[in-house]
Amino acid sequence: MNVLFKAAILSLSFLTLFACSLDQKKDTSIIGKQVPLPKIDYKEKLKSLGISLEAPSKPVANYVNVVQVDKLLFLAGKGPKMPDGKYITGTLGKDLTEEEGYEAAQRVAVLQLAVLKDHLGDLNKVKRIVKVMGLVRSTDDFKNQPEVMNGFSDTMVKVFGEKGKHARAALGTNSLPRNICVEIEMIVEIY
């Protein structure tokens, strides 16, 4: 009986290995071939979300909007600049409400999307939003920096779906350049 049990185990092991080798042969048949990615009409998607992308503004100091290292893009921090060139300024918990901060973070998301589109030419090249770091200018007793940053994160998920979900930091600070209320940078993986 012990011999039959061992023979059965051996037979199952052989069948498993054989099945795995067939799967590997199937999988390796596409290695080296360019598999087309599903295309999304981002122009239409952004339009349906009420998002219009303008050309990104030039950096105001000695830096660039984006640095590419292999398949990663590192986007410089952006503040909530409006189409008229003015920034949303002030301190959360003093001059601005949580809802106004959320809207400012949404505005930064649109600006970062414009940087991505400008650099890549096509948002279909975005594989994943990897990491976002947000600085929220706030009073010492304001504790809702994550809720403010949701304005940015929610926008990325609306645009990219699951690919828009990311790791994130939402930090409070007492000062930001030009009195802006939020500054957000991000890391993006591309195809």
Residues 128 and 39: their CA atoms lie apart, in Å, by 15
Q: What is the mean pLDDT of the chain?
A: 87
Q: Specify the pLDDT at position 64.
A: 97
> Are 170 and 105 contained in the same domain?
yes
> Are 116 and 50 contained in the same domain?
yes
DSSP 178: G
Lookup: tokens for 89:
């300024």
151-183 residue pLDDT tens: 999 999 999 999 999 999 999 999 999 999 999
> Are 8 and 92 contained in the same domain?
no
Place of tokens 């009073």: 139
When divided into structural domains, the chain yields a total of 2
> Are 138 and 167 contained in the same domain?
yes
113-130 residue pLDDT tens: 999 999 999 999 999 999
pLDDT band at 2 (very low <50, low <70, confident <90, very high): low
Lookup: tokens for 184:
């957000």
> Are 3 and 82 contained in the same domain?
no
Range of the domain at 167: 42-190
Higher pLDDT, 22 or 32: 32
Give the start-end residues of each E strand in the chain. Answer: 66-69, 72-78, 126-137, 167-173, 182-190
